[in-house]
Amino acid sequence: MPAGRETEHHSTVRRELGRLALGEGREVAATLYGTVIVMATLTDAYATEKHPAKLAAIVLSTSLVIWAAHLHAEGLARSIAEERRLTWADTRHVARREAGILLAAAPPALALVLGAAGLVAETTAVWLALGLGITTLFAEGVRYARIERLGFGQALVPIGVNLALGLGIVALKVAFDH
């Protein structure tokens, strides 16, 4: 591949990976929502289940169910609003927009799989999974602040709100543990 095309290819790959990881446009809502769902699900499940593989299965299956419910609800709402039956293309568009709910589960589930494989301790895997969620929420707050060109003080609001969501869930985890 020529140097110019290779650079363009790498840029496209980076952009697509960023879109998958953090969402783009309206997809950001699904990423934020999915991240909070994953963290809350993990915190709740950890109160009664300690095995990382089971926790990963719970996180992934919950994300799948929530994604399917969102796909159904968004599709139905769009169909009613537009007063027409949706096409497969419409459904694929909604599925892609809501994919952040599923994708938000991947990094925390991977951390849990590392724990199940014995590569990290069970507790470390859970904290790593929650840390990845907090990191995602922080990154989305920073992205918003940059897009809006907010000053440092103003940027603390969206970052703080996102972090408060994540840290509130972590506080619940600590409370359930004791």
Rounded-to-integer distance, Cα 47 and Cα 58, Å:
13
- pTM across the whole model: 0.77
Amino acid of residue 163: L
pLDDT digits (tens, 9 = 90+) for 112-131: 999 999 999 999 999 999 99
pLDDT digits (tens, 9 = 90+) for 30-58: 888 899 899 989 988 988 888 999 999 99
pLDDT digits (tens, 9 = 90+) for 68-117: 999 999 899 999 999 999 899 989 988 888 888 999 999 999 999 999 99
Contact status, residue 129 vs residue 166, Cβ threshold 8 Å: no
The structure tokens listed for 13 are: 């790959």
Provide the residue ranges of all domains of the chain, joining segments of one domain with +.
Answer: 26-177
Residue 166: pLDDT band (50, 70, 90) is confident
Contact status, residue 33 vs residue 101, Cβ threshold 8 Å: yes
Q: What is the average pLDDT across 13-25? A: 53
Nearest to 46 by CA among 103, 125, 164: 125
Q: Where are the alpha helices (DSSP H) in the chain?
A: 3-22, 27-46, 52-82, 88-97, 99-103, 106-116, 122-147, 152-177
* Predicted local distance difference test score (pLDDT) of residue 31: 87
Rounded-to-integer distance, Cα 68 and Cα 64, Å:
6
More confident residue, 178 or 4: 4
DSSP 125-159: HHHHHHHHHHHHHHHHHHHHHHHTT--HHHHHHHH
Q: What is the average pLDDT across 155-177? A: 81
60 pLDDT above the threshold of 90: yes
